[in-house]
Structure 1
């Protein structure tokens, strides 16, 4: 009887210890059908902060992309965007995001370039101008890749509520999903005033050229000051897994205000999406 009691005690201790070492995960069900296992850290009015099991990196997920969360405690929380069940036996299909319904392979979107001049962010029109220039340069040599037009890109971002002030709250994987593309090009231009270069010319004209006698004339001097700039461009290309497949930071060779254009062309010609 004593041996039976000891064996029972050991078995109870074993299963109790096993139960303590097995940690349950929170389960998130997204609107596109993806199931995420890990730990929910925080739920705000519009986002959820989440960590995958076995990882430490914290991701931010929009609440609008989530159907429900089943917590490790067993409690389930559903969200407003969850499609209501139809009264009949036939249920309507759940809405799918653009990236889930369309083939994203070889599709590329160019984000508006950040343009910082003398420490100040320039207007959105300037950022979109560089975005269009990048599209024009790469569009002629895209090969098998399909470029999303800048207008279509900006419309999709605006519809998703994404602008220059909050775009950093989204991972590149989330942006790829929102835009329905496989690759995203992200760039930044930093430009600062440096020295000024002075160009001067002097011209002399005679009052009369009718004879060979020297006569007094007039001398004119013209001077022009040209502002020089130091321009640095950073360009990165991300895939739909938020992995960087191209990363370049280059200082412009010329000191003119539009020197970024030559640098942009240089970087595009050397990126993996460019085809000769």
Structure 2
């Protein structure tokens, strides 16, 4: 009986620990309050919600809610606050300078940090990472939905003015970078590429030459061989998204299927389509 009691108690502790570690939905209200728990039901004008660890349900008006971040990572915007008038376009416009901590000014704005690109163990020039940064921006801009994607040129200019570069960027938290750039989300990416094998292709071309039939000599064959060598690469890409509270919204690593030098492009598109910011 004593052993049975211990087993039941251990099982109860395990279930309690699992419940505490389970991911929760997060409701962000327009006044900045955060409610953590489980969204039970979404109706036309209200949401039924229960706090983490509780069974009692509450009804919250949709008109009071900014957005819901579900445990799966999906983000549903309930109310888009009125944006201040600016001369910038939706994709790539510079955000109006915002007061620190202003959710309305950060809301739904996204910036790509310059990618890092490591080739054969050596960091490449800044221009290579900035090229991948621009490619990622172009991909997401076509499927931005309600999000405003900051143009990389503006992003990089703000970082330079703030004295931030690839040698000291690790000294800043992701919420620091969000506040400096005036965005709700920052996207960070890293490409690693290493040479592997070479594929060699050779072709032989022949030409037959003969003399008069009566000279009794064998035909002469002249041949030429041409060869080409193609360098193969192994490429992997890491992509992560952080919000202005420093929380990791998305993080994935994937190895490229192809072994070509530009294989990172297909891998980048694959990962980008699976982020919660991508709209089909």
TM over 0.5: yes
The equivalences for 1:138-217 within 5 A come to 138-207=140-209, 215-217=219-221
Q: Report the structure number with the largest CA radius of gyration.
A: 1
The CA distance in 2 between the partners of 1:128 and 1:154, in whole Å, is: 9
Of 270, 274, 277, which residue of structure 2 is paired with 1:273?
Answer: 277
Aligned twin of 1:114: 116
The CA distance in 1 between the partners of 2:258 and 2:233, in whole Å, is: 8
How much has 1:206 moved relative to structure 2? 3.5
Matched, 1:223 2:227: yes
Aligned twin of 1:246: 250
- Conserved in 2, the CA contact under 8 Å of 1:109 and 1:181? yes
User: What is the TM-score of this pair, normalised by structure 2?
Assistant: 0.60
* Per-residue Cα deviation, 1:63-112 (whole angstroms, up to 9, x for no partner): xxxxxxxxxxxxxxxxxxxxxxxxxxxxxxxx965764961111000000
The CA distance in 1 between the partners of 2:208 and 2:114, in whole Å, is: 57
Structure 2 unmatched ranges of 5 or more: 1-96
Of 119, 134, 148, which residue of structure 1 is paired with 2:136?
Answer: 134
Matched, 1:234 2:242: no
How much has 1:205 moved relative to structure 2? 2.6
The CA distance in 2 between the partners of 1:265 and 1:273, in whole Å, is: 13
What secondary structure, in the 3-state scheme, does the structure 2 residue paired with 1:103 have?
helix
The CA distance in 1 between the partners of 2:264 and 2:128, in whole Å, is: 12
- Conserved in 2, the CA contact under 8 Å of 1:99 and 1:178? no
Aligned pairs, number = 181
- The structure-2 alpha-carbon separation of the partners of 1:105 and 1:219, relative to structure 1 and needing over 3 Å to count, comes to same
Structure 1 segments of 4+ aligned residues over 3 angstroms from their partners? 95-102
- Conserved in 1, the CA contact under 8 Å of 2:98 and 2:105? no
Structure 1 unmatched ranges of 5 or more: 1-94
The equivalences for 1:77-92 within 5 A come to none
* Per-residue Cα deviation, 1:216-268 (whole angstroms, up to 9, x for no partner): 33222111121111111000000111111111000011111111111001111
- Conserved in 2, the CA contact under 8 Å of 1:99 and 1:180? no
- Conserved in 2, the CA contact under 8 Å of 1:173 and 1:239? yes
* Per-residue Cα deviation, 1:28-69 (whole angstroms, up to 9, x for no partner): xxxxxxxxxxxxxxxxxxxxxxxxxxxxxxxxxxxxxxxxxx
User: What is the TM-score of this pair, normalised by structure 1?
Assistant: 0.61
